[in-house]
Structure 1
Amino acid sequence: MANQQVEFKFPKGGIFTIIIIVLGIIFISKSAVTIGPGEGGVIFERFGDGINTETTYGEGFHIVAPWNKMIVRKVRQQSISDEMNVLSVNGLEVKVSGTIWYEPEFSNLGKLIKTKGEDYERELLDPAINAAARSVVGRYTPEQLYSSKRDVIEQEILDEVSTVLKDQYLIVKRVLVEDVKLPPTIRTAIETKLKQEQESLEYEFRLAKAKKEAERQKIDAEGKATANRILSASLTDKILQEKGIEATLKLAESNNSKVVVIGSGKNGMPIILGNQ
């Protein structure tokens, strides 16, 4: 039997269809962008004017022309922590560590990236925080920095940073000064002084409390003395006789008592000789 060869004929237009499918897959893979929760995106137009500042894309699935690029950044509130060496008002070097909460303006994300670049935290936020911290800390003594001025310092840094970043499309929400590190000798001196001040306040409190108690006792004694004087002035001989007679009658009415009264005692009061 002669060998029979089977000839496979490729359908007309099949190659063109395969090419279209491959190109479609490449187009979708290059063009599909998913923006996650808390993120925003702006388009870099490679053959246009660069960053498109008019539109910020929100969360979800987006199709972008393959020759363009979607730049995705976080637009929810974020935080950065930093530690820096600054000088106090008297020239002493202190180390301040803190945390800043910030977020970019969603609608102006394109303008922010176009003017400050994708790494806008390093280009814009860090210099503003450092300048504000040095300016504010330089107004206070180490003792104020260490103890009682934390809230005021935080608010002043926030105000200065907000002023510097005004119209820069980046919003600072909060500043927290977490720690102020002083040289050991200065820190020990401040802690000793604060302890002595606390002990002094406690001593003054005890003195004030004792003084109030003495005044209370004095007022109480004066009140009792006045009451006794009023009572003594009101007790005449006649009133005393009446009170004595009333007491004697009550005693005589008792079932468990026998009272014998003979004559009268001094001032006319009955004399009780015996009872059971």
Structure 2
Amino acid sequence: MEFQSRSRVPLLVLAVLLLGAVIFGLAGTIGSGNVGVRTTLGVISSEAVTPGVYLKWPFISSISEFSAKEVAIDLQDLTPKAKDNLSLRDMDVSVYYKVADSQIPALQVKYAGQSVRDEHSGIWLPAQGVVMRIVRNAVYEEVARVDSLVMHTKRDEMAASIRRNVQAELDRNDPHVFTVTRVVIRAVVTDPSIEESIRAAVANQKKLEAMTIQTEIAKKQAEIRVTEAEGIARANKIIADSLTREYLQHEANQALQTFAEKGNTNTVVVPANMTSAPLINIPAHTGK
């Protein structure tokens, strides 16, 4: 028990000292997900200060807190020119990126003055000026590849392409430092005349789709009629092929026989080109 109580004394003293340092401004804290960049006599340390409590050295060094979390860049009211040489009225794009926490001090040395301090939290956003310029160029280059009339249908494709291009440019300058997590095209507003053209194009597309359906229906109906006609023609051919001269003569003889067997008649029917003797039915004398 005595050993445990003695071991707690230094920890208690250290806690009191740290508390006093914080109270008197001799210590500070780095929030979770952030890192600190220490500058001593104008020289930036290459080692990042990890989250937690750190000691200050007034008049000798200072520490700035930088975000190692996902950072958003919002570009608004852009007016890039499309492939058909028509400028957009308004385009809003958001790009989200992260920076490897261990590389933030080096970025601060390489891109001095390019980090931006968040007005609300007071935390610095690393190299945001550099990323913003690359994003802006990527947006303008991507819009220049797409016609304004179809741009509203290609938001996802354009966002994916912008993300790839921004990531490639960042990797070319600083490999394995930046990660572009996502790109969102929030708004695409074209010129009013273009909007009218888009509406007309959509209406014409709907008409074309309806006409295509009607054409397909007509083709199917025509195919049905052709199939029916072919069936009738084949049936007629089968019937015609079965009507031989002998068969027709047989049918004629059967008809004449039936006609001759009927009573109360004295008519004689002699078919043309008849090869057999005519059938004559003479009624019996009744004696009246």
**Given the two structures, how large is their TM-score scaled by the length of structure 2?**
0.60
CA deviation profile, 1:204-238 (whole Å, cap 9, x unmatched) = 1222134224424654776698799989x99xxxx
Q: Say how many residue pairs are matched.
A: 213
Aligned residue in 1 for 2:275: none
Give the equivalent residue in structure 1 for 2:36.
Answer: 42
Q: Residues 56 and 106 of structure 1 are in contact (CA less than 8 Å); yes or no, is this contact kept in structure 2?
A: no
Q: What does residue range 176-255 of structure 1 map to in structure 2 within 5 Å?
A: 176-216=184-224, 218-219=226-227
Candidates 90, 100, 103, aligned match of 1:105:
100
Change (3 A) 1:71 1:223: farther
> 1:116-170 deviations in whole A, cap 9, x for unaligned?
34324542121111111112212232113233x3333223322221232224333
Is 1:86 the counterpart of 2:80 in the alignment?
yes
Q: Which residue pairs with 1:133 in the alignment?
A: 139
Matched AA of 1:191: R
1:57/1:225 CA distance change after superposition, 3 Å:
farther
Aligned to 1:156, which of 161, 178, 181? 161
Aligned pair in 2 of structure 1 residues 202, 42: CA closer, same or farther (>3 Å)?
A: same
1:33–1:214 Cα change, 3 Å: same
1:23 Cα deviation from its structure 2 partner: 7.9
Q: Secondary structure at the match of 2:46?
A: coil
Question: Which amino acid counterpart does residue 78 of structure 1 have in structure 2?
Answer: V
Structure 2, unaligned stretches of length 5 or more?
Answer: 1-15, 117-125, 243-257, 259-288
Aligned counterpart for 2:181 among listed residues 173, 178, 191: 173
Higher alpha-carbon deviation: 191-200 or 25-34: 25-34
Q: Can you give the 5+ residue segments of structure 1 that lack an aligned partner in the other structure?
A: 1-21, 235-265, 267-276
Mapped partners of 2:28, 2:180: distance in 1: 33
Q: Which amino acid aligns with 1:86?
A: P
TM-score between both structures, scaled by the size of structure 1: 0.62
Change (3 A) 1:111 1:216: farther
Query: Aligned-pair distance for 1:178?
Result: 2.6
Distance in 2, Cα, partners of 1:111 & 1:209: 69
User: Identity over aligned residues, as a percent?
Assistant: 19
Alignment partners' CA distance in 2, 1:49 and 1:137:
42
Aligned to 1:63: 54
- For the residue of structure 2 that corresponds to 1:143, the secondary structure is coil
Q: 1:62 is matched by which residue type in structure 2? A: V
Query: For residues 42 and 188 of structure 1, do their structure 2 counterparts lie closer, same or farther at Cα, with a shift above 3 Å needed?
Result: same
**Cα RMSD (Å) of the superposition?**
3.5
